[in-house]
Amino acid sequence: MILYPAIDVLDGRVVRLAKGDFNAVTDYGGDPLAVAQAWRAAGADWLHLVDLSGARDGARRQTGLVAAVASAGLKIQTGGGVRTADDVEALLDAGASRVVVGSLAVSEPRTVIGWIARFGPERIAAAFDVRMEGGAVYPTLKGWTERAERTLPELLADYRRAGLAHALATDVARDGMLSGPNTALYTDLVAARADIAWQASGGVSSLDDVRALKTAGLSGAIIGRALFEGCFKLEEALAC
């Protein structure tokens, strides 16, 4: 299992949002490159970089930061406001190893399937922010304020023959809350779609959480607030 320390950047500063709420921001400082270099020094091979400014307004790109982080020796998966093929191409050209596509992966799967064909399955990851309702798993849209009409398994059927190789799943009730990951959700996803390398996102708060995700068969785990709050050190998590 690959660990992806996460850096969320909003207006040039390192932050974390509680449940994706732009009104619930915790600020961790103004030098995202220094944070990335610290994770690299701690042993990270990958970084999960989110452009929250781009996610909010769709216009701002972190290509300069992506290039700087890539030059520091980290592989980067990055997203936030990715809306066009030009966005994907610009991030890849800047040095990103993989581009994460969120809302469009839910609302326009055919578009994302086209990008997978164009850029290759190793270069695109779909991100599904989900909510549990009545025992079913539904993707969410528009900053988690709207629920998609189809369940996640129904949506994933569109990608079955499209070559989707990487996907992130976030239980929106747990993101940024240090309440533990939804291990049952991830166990079900791994069992149902073993053809996809699944990454857990949201809720990790302890080394036991990291161990549980590895046991569940996850390909990767994204860890953000737990590292910034000192719940454990990245070196300890990597040792798990």
Q: Which residues contact 88 (CB under 8 A, 6 or more apart)?
A: 82, 99, 101, 115, 119, 123, 124
Question: What distance in Å separates the CA atoms of residue 197 and residue 4, rounded to the nearest whole number?
Answer: 14
Question: What distance in Å separates the CA atoms of residue 65 and residue 190, rounded to the nearest whole number?
Answer: 33
Q: Is 129 a catalytic residue?
A: yes
Q: Is 78 left (phi over 0), alpha (psi -120 to 50) or beta?
A: beta
Q: Is 27 a catalytic residue?
A: no
Residue in 129, 171, 175, 209 annotated catalytic: 129
Question: What distance in Å separates the CA atoms of residue 121 and residue 130, rounded to the nearest whole number?
Answer: 22
Question: What distance in Å separates the CA atoms of residue 141 and residue 164, rounded to the nearest whole number?
Answer: 20
> Torsion angle of alpha carbons 149, 190, 117, 78, nearest 10°?
90
Q: Which residue has the tokens 């809720």?
A: 203
Question: What distance in Å separates the CA atoms of residue 218 and residue 12, rounded to the nearest whole number?
Answer: 31
Catalytic residues: 8, 129
